[in-house]
């Protein structure tokens, strides 16, 4: 299309100047999670204010922005965005609307926190735990009277979108796509071991049989055993309930376990 006014050099210069002028950016007021009640924080972020402050203290060196231009997100805001995404599993734009930021900022915040957690995982999640082994065993013994327990083991299915490759492998026994995540925790429900790489169709017993921790138990690195459910085989290092307990000690053991 022929634009007659662009034939004038003065008009052309005016158009260039107008295009170069930046429009004023409008920032929506961002949330201050410290002003919310504890019930809202648990519902939206799955953590209390004290725990979020604690997490921010640990992650701040890794997730803080190097610049404050453009009202860059603080480390606490970055963490709260990621926690809200982890807690709800919603779409990025829904999290952005809730946190008063754009979809791209949500994506960057989630990625930054995820990579940081992956980086810190080997130092934070340690089996049998950061406490002395004697303390761990005593805490379990106070719960049910079972001696030498180092942890409880079970699998949980984390729903995922159907992958484009090997889609059938990720369909679990409940007919939805998932990752079967093996988790071990201590008596205070603190996670001490995670195995999160298996498709939903893989049985719990296979995950344990092929995980590194199982081999470490087989080599005698730990003086104690785990407690599991019927999904695991009974082994010297892994105690499970009796399948058909007889009246007496077997039934009492199952109740304790």
Half-sphere exposure of 129 (CA within 13 A, CB side): 20
Average model confidence (pLDDT) across the chain: 86
Distances (CA, A) of 106 to 41, 55, 62, 109: 18, 18, 17, 5
Same domain for 211 and 242: yes
pTM attached to this predicted model? 0.75
Structural domain range at position 181: 133-256
Domain count for the chain, please give it.
Answer: 2
Quick: pLDDT tens for 77-118. 999 999 999 988 777 778 888 787 888 888 999 999 999 999
Same domain for 194 and 85: no
The tokens 């000690």 sit on which residue? Answer: 249
Same domain for 157 and 252: yes
Tokens of 248: 């007496």
Quick: pLDDT tens for 189-247. 999 999 999 999 999 999 999 999 999 999 999 999 999 998 899 999 999 988 887 88
Task: With respect to residue 17, please indicate whether it lies within any of the assigned structural domains.
Answer: yes
CA-wise closest residue to 163 among 200, 112, 121? 200
Tokens of 171: 């369909």
pLDDT of 147: 92
Same domain for 179 and 232: yes
Beta strands, E only, the chain: 149-159, 178-185, 191-199, 225-227, 238-239
Coil, strand or helix: which one is 29?
coil
The residue with greater pLDDT, 230 or 30, is 230
Which residue, 123, 145, 178, sits at the end of a domain? 123
Which residue, 88, 123, 158, sits at the end of a domain? 123
Same domain for 158 and 52: no
Distance of CA 18 to the CA centre of its chain: 47
């Amino acid at each position: 299309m022929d634009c007659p006014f662009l034939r004038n050099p003065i008009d052309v210069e005016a158009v260039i100047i107008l295009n170069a002028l930046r429009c004023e950016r409008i920032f929506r007021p961002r949330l201050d999670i410290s002003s919310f009640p504890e019930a809202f924080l648990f519902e939206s972020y799955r953590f209390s204010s004290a725990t979020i402050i604690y997490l921010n203290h640990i992650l701040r060196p890794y997730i803080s922005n190097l610049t404050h231009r453009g009202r860059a997100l603080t480390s606490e805001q970055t963490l709260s965005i990621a926690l809200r995404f982890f807690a709800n599993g919603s779409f990025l734009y829904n999290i952005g609307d809730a946190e008063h930021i754009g979809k791209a900022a949500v994506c960057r915040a989630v990625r930054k926190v995820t990579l940081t957690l992956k980086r810190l995982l080997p130092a934070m999640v340690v089996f049998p735990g950061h406490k002395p082994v004697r303390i761990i065993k005593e805490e379990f013994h106070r719960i049910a009277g079972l001696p030498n327990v180092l942890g409880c083991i079970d699998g949980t299915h984390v729903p995922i979108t159907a992958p484009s490759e090997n889609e059938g492998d990720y369909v679990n026994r409940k007919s939805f796509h998932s990752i079967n995540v093996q988790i071990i925790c201590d008596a205070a429900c603190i996670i001490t071991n995670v195995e999160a790489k298996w498709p939903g169709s893989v049985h719990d017993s296979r995950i344990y049989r092929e995980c590194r921790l199982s081999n470490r138990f087989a080599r005698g690195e730990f003086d104690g055993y785990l407690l599991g459910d019927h999904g695991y085989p009974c082994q010297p290092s892994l105690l499970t309930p009796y399948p058909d307990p007889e009246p007496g000690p077997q039934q009492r053991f199952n109740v304790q376990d």
